[in-house]
Amino acid sequence: MRGLNKMAMCYGNLDLRIEERPLDEPRPGEVQLAVKAALTCGTDVKIYKRGYPFLKPPFPVGHEYAGEVIAVGEGMDPGLIGRGVVTSNGAGCQLCFNCMRDRDNLCEGIEADFDEYVQMGGGFAEYINVHAPIVKQNLKVIPEGVPYEQAAMVEPVSVALHGVNQADIKIGDTIAIIGAGPMGLLQTQLAKLRGARVISIEKSRERLAQAGRLGADVLINPDGVGDLVKAVRSTANEGRGPDQVIESVGLPQTWELAIEMARKGGTVVEYGGCASGTKISVDTKRLHYDELTIKGSYSASAYETEVAFNLLARGVIRASDYISGTYPLEKTKQALDAHLNQQGIKFLIKP
Question: What is the average per-residue pLDDT within 318-346?
Answer: 96
Same domain flag for 113 and 13: yes
Domain that holds residue 121: 3-153+322-350
Question: What is the average per-residue pLDDT within 216-232?
Answer: 95
Same domain flag for 201 and 252: yes
Q: Read off the DSSP letter of residue 303.
A: H
Residue 291 maps to which CATH number? 3.40.50.720
Same domain flag for 270 and 231: yes
Among 296, 312, 335, the domain-final residue is 296
d(CA 319, CA 148): 10
Same domain flag for 182 and 126: no
CA distances from 318 to 83, 138, 200, 277, 323 (A): 21, 20, 19, 36, 9
Same domain flag for 66 and 179: no
Same domain flag for 147 and 201: no
d(CA 272, CA 163): 10
Same domain flag for 276 and 196: yes
Question: What is the average per-residue pLDDT within 102-108?
Answer: 89
Give the chain's mean pLDDT: 93
pLDDT of residue 191: 98
Residue 32 maps to which CATH number? 3.90.180.10
Query: Does 41 reside within a domain?
Result: yes
Q: Is the pLDDT of residue 214 over 50?
A: yes
Q: Is the pLDDT of residue 113 over 70?
A: no
Query: Does 314 reside within a domain?
Result: no
pLDDT of residue 117: 43
Q: Which residues pair with 114 in a beta bridge?
A: 111
69-87: per-residue pLDDT in tens? Answer: 999 999 999 999 999 999 9
Torsional sign, CA 139, 145, 151, 154 = negative
Q: Read off the DSSP letter of residue 144.
A: T
Same domain flag for 215 and 81: no
Long-range contacts of 335-344 (CB under 8 A, 24+ apart): 335/40, 336/16, 336/40, 336/44, 336/45, 336/48, 339/40, 339/42, 339/44, 339/45, 340/45, 340/48, 340/49, 342/181, 342/204, 342/207
Same domain flag for 182 and 59: no
Same domain flag for 327 and 283: no
CA distances from 87 to 3, 34, 131, 229 (A): 23, 13, 10, 39
Structurally, the chain folds into a number of domains equal to 2
Query: Does 197 reside within a domain?
Result: yes
Query: Does 177 reside within a domain?
Result: yes
DSSP for 257-283, written as a single string:
HHHHHSPTT-EEEE-SPPPTT------
